[in-house]
């Protein structure tokens, strides 16, 4: 086990009806004027918008609104949010939505007290030293952004030419939400595809931690396995009945635990797959979860020989592949078959072909993927490695 | 899953050599004058005392010392600590030791800003509204006090007569340590018996959460199971080789996770067994862990019919008892046999007889146990129930 520091201060308020108290909770956190940040029309359709407005008004919290966050959230809206906060004297951000809205809120939180362009943080040109406080009401269990320090933003006018689409992440403990409200009922209306993409994302967050070269990580291995088994079991239930409260609750809480850092304590984490996927969703604008379902099986196949015992353990303990110690190839093939079967069972693609993506931009994506050096830790992946993973993901 | 609020702000600093930075960390937490609180001579023998003193001096942190904490920590020393802090203008407490030292430090922390007698908090006569900040260097993985809000103290002059031995607990989020330093190397010198009692205690913290009447708790069930399996596996390793760093690390981190509240989210917890055990260790001054190894098998047998499926699941998933759905009695008996076998394998007693305790004070202990009402949630245990558990624990 490696040395580590662990601290996650986000207060979780979980359960039925909890969103109604957001105003009081903001007051308890000394918020005076809030940026109410959200995405499209779904929170208006479901009535969540009205609930939040009422709670803010009842508690006497002033607010200004900024909707319009898109999946793969855009830098342009972040810039608008920063300006709005400065102009209006906002002192707290409330993100109501999924990972995209929360990531956008984090970018605004980091940008407001910063003199330069907030993109500097994503472009490895600056370090976050201050941030406005933020909180969330989560509507899509997936990204784990509700307690994580991370944020991923897409710049539609990146690169030297100024017309490249570039998706990058950054992070800071200062960006962890002060509190996050999680009501599983708010996820009843999620479309099946988004539910499934979210499930794939949270599974991937655990897998990025599970696949480590660190040898003595018994406890966190077991905790990861417990969380993954629970996600797979309850995934089936929520796909069957989107209003199954208990299954929705298991999935929602698992999405947070998958990414609150505790499952990664004492081990190096990988994150190569996420980096490889980011280039896909940046260029083709596919859902992050769908991209992960395409890339992960290919990544596992490409890296099997780096530490076959770990990958066999994964397939045995999570997907019940019989432990055949002298037939690693069987375990790999059968395991990948079952992993893809799981993805397909919830409606995810498992190949680039499924999304109609051709192989004409592998070189370009791999180039961008390693722009700051090789990605991942299970194996350090250079440009050639990344291209091979894209190739293995073709079909 | 029940609604819940979860927040645990304690910063964990885990790994080899981490205790050397305690002085710097105290400075980072704005400590100026520290009460250095510890137990007997063991931290002097191991050199930890010198390491701490050097680190405090190097960082320029003033300190006053208060050693002498005993197992089942005494109220009298707490009173002395409170006086010392007030007289010397201490603004931060550093507890170096196991759960007893940390619990004593928490009592002092709660007592310093309180006008009445700190025992009021333990005697259900007051609520903690303010506390001095504290931090810990843990030397005995067991109680989980290093991130918990709880403290248990023994009053040797309790009751109306003033000569009863009374052991009581209280708690407050204000008592969670600001940071806790966990170096598994500091546990290499722990005697086998203490190691085993600590393992029994952390297992019990998970079992108190595992045995719930709440039906839909899939994720936390799986997380509990992962932690318990890891504890059992690594218990064998540390008993065999006390200097096995990785096994010590697994046990130490499991002790914290067992009691940092995350395994209890969304479910009611029991804690009846702890209450029933407290009366044992209060009167007979046995180790808390040993008391738990005696009481838990009896508690499980007594409560089997309250929710047999849960208990069968426990024995099947943790102790590999074959799932015999139509033979619950077999599963119960075989499960209890294996649970006791585990306790015995690490040198714990499994009956009152093993500790030479007779049945002449069952009535008195049960009376004290339910003084504030029935204990536990899996089944509400009244005086008669508690007596039955003591009886079942006889041999």
List, as one string, the DSSP characters of A144-181: -TTT-SEEEEEEEEETTTS-EEEEEEEE-GGGS-SEEE
Could you tell me the sign of the dihedral formed by the alpha carbons of B168, B171, B177, B182, in that order? positive
Per DSSP, which regions of A98-253 are E strands?
134-138, 150-158, 164-171, 179-182
pLDDT tens track for A348-359: 999 999 999 998
pLDDT of residue B158 exceeding 90, the answer is no
For residue A9, list chain B residues with Cβ-Cβ distance below 8 A: 7, 9
Average pLDDT over residues A65-74: 94
CB distance A350 to A342 below 8 Å: no
Structure confidence at residue A164 (pLDDT): 86
pLDDT of residue B159 exceeding 90, the answer is no
* Joined tokens for residue A383: 């440009």
Structure confidence at residue B352 (pLDDT): 97
Structure confidence at residue A167 (pLDDT): 87
Interface contact A257-B13, CB threshold 8 A:
no
pLDDT of residue A258 exceeding 90, the answer is yes
pLDDT tens track for A324-355: 999 999 999 999 999 999 999 999 999 999 99
* CA-based nearest residue to A142, from A18, A252, A19: A252
Interface contact A14-B225, CB threshold 8 A:
no
Interface contact A266-B249, CB threshold 8 A:
yes
* Joined tokens for residue A182: 């999680």
A72: confidence class by pLDDT, cuts 50, 70, 90: confident
Tell me which residues of chain B have a C-beta less than 8 Å from any C-beta of chain A.
Answer: 1-18, 184, 215-216, 218-219, 221-227, 229-230, 233-234, 246, 249-250, 253-254, 257, 262, 265-266
Instruction: Kindly tell me the burial class for residue A328, based on how many C-beta atoms sit within 10 Å of its own C-beta (0-12, 13-18, 19 or more).
Output: middle
CB distance A152 to A275 below 8 Å: no
**What interhelical angle do B192-210 and B288-303 show, nearest 10?**
30
Tell me which residues of chain A have a C-beta less than 8 Å from any C-beta of chain B.
Answer: 1-18, 184, 215-216, 218-219, 221-227, 229-230, 233-234, 245-246, 249-250, 253-254, 257, 262, 265-266
Structure confidence at residue B54 (pLDDT): 98
* Exposure string over A94-110, b if 16+ CB within 10 A, otherwise e: bbbbbbbbbbbbbbbbb
Q: Which fold has domain B190-392?
A: Dehydroquinate synthase-like, alpha domain (1.20.1090)
Q: Which fold has domain B11-185?
A: Rossmann fold (3.40.50)
For residue A181, list chain B residues with Cβ-Cβ distance below 8 A: none
pLDDT tens track for A260-284: 999 999 999 999 999 999 999 888 9
Contacts of B51 (CB under 8 A, 6+ apart): B19, B20
CB distance B186 to B139 below 8 Å: yes
pLDDT tens track for A308-317: 999 999 999 9
CB B192: neighbour CB atoms within 10 A? 12
For residues A204, A208, A209, A213, the Cα torsion angle rounded to the nearest 10 degrees is: 150
CB distance A34 to A90 below 8 Å: yes
For residue B229, list chain A residues with Cβ-Cβ distance below 8 A: 222
The kind and range of the H/E element at B35 are strand B33-38
Structural domain spans, chain A = 11-185, 190-392
pLDDT tens track for B267-326: 999 999 999 999 998 889 899 999 999 999 999 999 999 999 999 999 999 999 999 999
Q: Residues for chain B: how many in total?
A: 395
Residue B229: closest C-alpha in chain A: A222
pLDDT of residue A45 exceeding 90, the answer is yes
Q: Distance (Å, rounded) from C-alpha A265 to C-alpha A6?
A: 7
Residue A257: closest C-alpha in chain B: B262
Average pLDDT over residues B63-86: 96
* CA-based nearest residue to A93, from A65, A73, A129, A58: A65
């Amino acid at each position: 086990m490696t040395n580590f520091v662990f601290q996650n201060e986000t207060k979780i308020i979980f359960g039925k009806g909890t969103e109604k108290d957001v105003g009081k909770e903001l007051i308890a956190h000394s918020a005076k004027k809030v940026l109410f940040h959200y995405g499209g029309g779904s929170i208006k359709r479901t009535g969540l918008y009205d609930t939040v407005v009422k709670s803010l008004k009842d508690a006497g919290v002033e607010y200004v609104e900024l909707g319009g966050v898109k999946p793969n959230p855009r830098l342009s809206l972040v810039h608008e949010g920063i300006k709005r906060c400065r102009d209006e004297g906002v002192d707290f951000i409330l993100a109501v939505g999924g990972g995209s809205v929360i990531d956008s809120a984090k970018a605004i939180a980091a940008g407001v007290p910063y003199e330069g362009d907030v993109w500097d943080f994503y472009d490895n040109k600056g370090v976050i030293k201050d941030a406005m406080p933020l909180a969330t009401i989560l509507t899509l269990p997936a990204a784990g952004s509700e307690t994580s320090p991370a944020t991923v933003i897409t710049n539609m006018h990146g690169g030297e030419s100024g017309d490249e689409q570039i998706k990058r992440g950054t992070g800071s403990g200062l960006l962890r939400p002060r509190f996050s409200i999680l009501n599983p009922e708010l996820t009843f209306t999620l479309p099946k595809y988004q539910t499934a993409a979210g499930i794939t994302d949270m599974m991937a967050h655990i897998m990025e931690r599970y696949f480590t070269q660190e040898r003595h990580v018994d406890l966190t291995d077991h905790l990861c396995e417990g969380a993954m088994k629970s996600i797979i079991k309850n995934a089936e239930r929520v796909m069957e009945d989107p209003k199954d409260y208990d299954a929705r609750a298991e999935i929602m809480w698992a999405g947070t635990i998958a990414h609150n850092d505790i499952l990664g304590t004492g081990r190096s984490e990988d994150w190569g797959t996420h980096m490889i996927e980011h280039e896909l969703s940046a260029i083709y604008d596919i859902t992050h979860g769908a991209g992960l379902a395409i890339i992960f099986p290919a990544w596992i196949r490409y890296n099997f020989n780096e530490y076959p015992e770990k990958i066999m353990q994964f397939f045995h303990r999570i997907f019940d592949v019989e432990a055949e110690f002298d037939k690693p190839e069987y375990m790999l093939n059968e395991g990948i078959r079952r992993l893809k079967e799981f993805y397909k069972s919830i409606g995810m693609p498992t190949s680039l072909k499924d999304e109609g993506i051709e192989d004409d931009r592998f070189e370009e994506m791999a180039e961008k993927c390693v722009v700051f050096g090789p990605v991942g830790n299970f194996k350090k992946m250079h440009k050639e490695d990344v291209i091979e993973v894209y190739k293995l993901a073709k079909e």
